[in-house]
Structure 1
Amino acid sequence: MKIYDNYNNYTYAKGNTEEELIQDWNEKAEENFSWILEDLGNFNEKEDENIKKFFEECTQEQENLIGIELIIKEINKIEVNKIKIYK
């Protein structure tokens, strides 16, 4: 199993079981989504707060694939990504 971005050729997480996949996702979340913070300081203070909030939402620990799927859906909306869970 893996969570993979076909557009950017990037693996967000992998595991042999659903539990391992979720654990790997949680362990790598801050590293995987550090690019979100690259825009800090490029906009106004309100936008900076929105960026920080979005980063926190993306890196919040997930307990199941449903939470991960919701994050993937949001990420795929705002960036050129094609992240998908492969089982």
Structure 2
Amino acid sequence: MKVAVYDTYVPKKDGTVMHFDILVPDTMKNEDQVYAYGRSYLQQKEQEGQPMSTKECRFCHIEEATAEVVSDIERQGYSIIEMQGCN
């Protein structure tokens, strides 16, 4: 499965920055849905209400998905790869 990778940098409530990637099927063209996935992830991390728009989240590239990413997408529609400041 090919996935679109959205590179995302969101300011946390404590002023630091979360860097994570949102991965969705490469056929998804609705960026509002990608942002909704990002907001859902932020809520899980107790960062709800933080900005999530084209300023924080941008399409980066398309790549081949790993088995874990495919499983996440089949289960919930998207996958998150945590890069920095997510914990």
> TM-score under structure 1 normalisation?
0.29
Q: Which has the higher helix share?
A: 1
- Whose RCO is larger (CA < 8 A, sep 6+)? 2
The structure that has the greater radius of gyration is: 1
Q: TM-score, normalised by structure 2?
A: 0.29
